[in-house]
Amino acid sequence: MKRLANKTALITGGNSGIGFATAKDFIEEGATVVITARSQAAVDAAVKELGPQAKGIALDVADMTQVKSFGAKLKAVAPVVNAFFVNAGIAKFSSIEQADEQHFDEQFNVNVKGAYFSIQQVLPLMPEGSSIVLNTSINASIGMPNASVYSATKAAFLTLVRTLSAELLPRKIRVNAVSPGPVSTPLYTPDKMGLPGEQIQAIGEAIAGKIPLGRFGRPEEIARVVTFFASDDSSFVLGAELIVDGGMATL
Ligand SMILES: NC(=O)c1ccc[n+]([C@@H]2O[C@H](COP(=O)([O-])OP(=O)(O)OC[C@H]3O[C@@H](n4cnc5c(N)ncnc54)[C@H](OP(=O)(O)O)[C@@H]3O)[C@@H](O)[C@H]2O)c1
């Protein structure tokens, strides 16, 4: 039997990169998948590509009005959610000397506040035995220059793995984290990173040189780990972080 047969899974930011690859993997494993994307057009395009096992809802997690009404919208589409991949996130790079308040607030609003209150919205729909998977980052554990705010958001987010695991224990909801190293996704584009293309390429080459496997990861390589956490294969695993980084943080 497929590992996510008869399960419904939710993925925020499921239109792109790691989220989209995970939606595909979940569907291959038999799940019905609800993805969110920031715009209705992005929702529609992703759902069309994912096929009949996919549904979608527009959600900007930086907008608390949208977040607060998300649970009701989700319930109309999926009354039960067995797995939630809390994936939507942004990464911006700046030295501390140049960082301004907007750089700080934007990342904390999406990566921490938006993620936290999204979980609050989804919890009423999660039955016993459900699984929440947080997309954190090795940046929570390493000292990468110019990534201070992004890293702080992921470190804050990572703490939820333990606190929520303890808090949700009576409901038998497991919470785990996947911490990717550098993965080739649209995150590394001028629009998303807020840096010129040449600078992003230079950063990418410098980072790749620090990965023992000598390359960026592929989104599918993260998706497989998320599927493990989302499925009953990991039924005895909770409060755990799995680093998936080609050895960057650990060797
Ligand atoms: N790629 C890496 O090297 C890497 C490493 C470690 C951790 N991560 C984490 O992996 C997650 C996915 O990133 P990715 O690499 O797959 O990049 P991506 O392709 O840019 O995916 C990010 C997703 O989050 C969505 N998103 C951004 N801001 C949002 C908001 N305000 N409301 C709702 N959705 C929002 C994006 O929507 P749009 O398409 O509309 O922008 C997109 O769907 C992030 O949390 C990131 O921090 C990535």
The Cα–Cα gap between 215 and 158 comes to 25
Ligand 1 neighbours (beta carbon < 6 A): 12-13, 15-19, 37-38, 42, 59-62, 87-91, 110, 135, 137, 180, 182-183, 185-187, 192
The Cα–Cα gap between 202 and 200 comes to 5
Look at residues 2, 26, 1 and name the one whose alpha carbon lies nearest to residue 10. Answer: 26
Percent of the chain whose predicted confidence (pLDDT) is above 90: 94
Pair type for strands 131-135 and 32-37: unpaired
Q: What is the distance in A from the centroid of ligand 1 to the CA of 17?
A: 7
Q: State mean pLDDT over 168-190.
A: 97
Q: How far is CA 179 from CA 52, 163, 208, in A?
A: 30, 17, 17
Percent of the chain whose predicted confidence (pLDDT) is above 70: 100
Domain ranges of the chain: 8-244
Q: What is the distance in A from the centroid of ligand 1 to the CA of 165?
A: 24
Q: What are phi and psi of 228, to 5 degrees?
A: -60, -50
CATH 3.40.50.720 fits 8-244, yes or no: yes
* Closest approach atom of ligand 1 to CA 18: 16
Tens digit of each residue's pLDDT (9 = 90 or more) over 111-158: 999 999 999 999 999 999 999 999 999 999 999 999 999 999 999 999
